[in-house]
């Protein structure tokens, strides 16, 4: 798997062979970051980060900080190895079972979530973000496959983009859930 743009463009990372790990395809990553535009100096939260490719793309494109939260220890060790080998700064990698480990009262410009499919976790994410007060003025993007994502009250869907079997849903928190 290769980084598609930015300072680390073309660098290849090995994806650990972990059941259920499905890194976001390069076409979807490129499209997402084209939609986001200039992210220079922004902060990026990657929930269910798996291979870490989304955080790496964000940092490669100029994000100043990325936080990757992942429950699988093999996946977090692989990300930490990449971080050491590539000398990546501004990347915090944590092995946590969500929602535990979510930072409290922390602002992120972009929150990206790619939860395991079919476990009902997608619908819980807005509640977790609100409980930890990390949604203020953030763009929230969730990746889903083969289903329509409907989030609870307090979040306004702004757009969705479909790429083959992958759909990206974009949300903004309403004023009521902001800090």
Q: Hey, where are the domains in the chain?
A: 26-177
Which CATH entry fits the domain spanning 26-177: 3.40.50.150, 3.90.1170.10, 3.40.50.880, 2.60.40.10? 3.40.50.150
79-99 b/e (C-beta count within 10 Å ≥ 16 → b): bbebbeebebeebebbbeebb
Per-residue pLDDT of the chain (179 residues; tens, 9 = 90+): 899 999 999 998 888 888 878 888 899 999 999 999 999 999 999 999 999 999 999 999 999 999 999 999 999 999 999 999 999 999 999 999 999 889 888 889 999 999 987 788 888 888 888 888 886 678 889 888 766 666 666 777 888 899 988 889 898 877 644 44
- Reported as half-sphere exposure (CB side, CA atoms, 13 A), residue 21 has a value of 19
Beta bridge partners of 143: 168
Q: Model pTM?
A: 0.90
At how many degrees (to 10) do helices 26-36 and 53-60 cross?
40
């Amino acid at each position: 798997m290769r980084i598609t743009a930015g300072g680390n463009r073309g660098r290849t990372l090995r994806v650990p062979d972990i059941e259920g790990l499905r890194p976001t395809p390069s076409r979807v990553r490129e499209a997402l970051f084209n939609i986001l535009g200039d992210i220079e100096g922004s902060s990026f939260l990657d929930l269910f980060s798996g291979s870490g490719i989304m955080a790496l793309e964000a940092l490669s494109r100029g994000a100043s900080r990325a936080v990757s939260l992942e429950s699988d220890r093999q996946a977090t060790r692989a990300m930490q190895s990449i971080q050491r080998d590539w000398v990546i700064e501004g990347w915090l990698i944590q092995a946590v079972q969500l929602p535990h480990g979510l930072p409290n009262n922390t602002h992120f410009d972009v929150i990206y979530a790619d939860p395991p499919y079919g476990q009902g976790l997608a619908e819980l994410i807005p509640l977790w973000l609100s409980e930890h007060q990390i949604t203020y003025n953030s763009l929230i993007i969730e990746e889903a496959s083969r289903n329509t994502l409907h989030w609870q009250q307090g979040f306004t869907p702004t757009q969705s983009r479909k790429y083959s079997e992958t759909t990206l849903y974009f949300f903004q928190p309403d004023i009521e859930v902001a800090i």
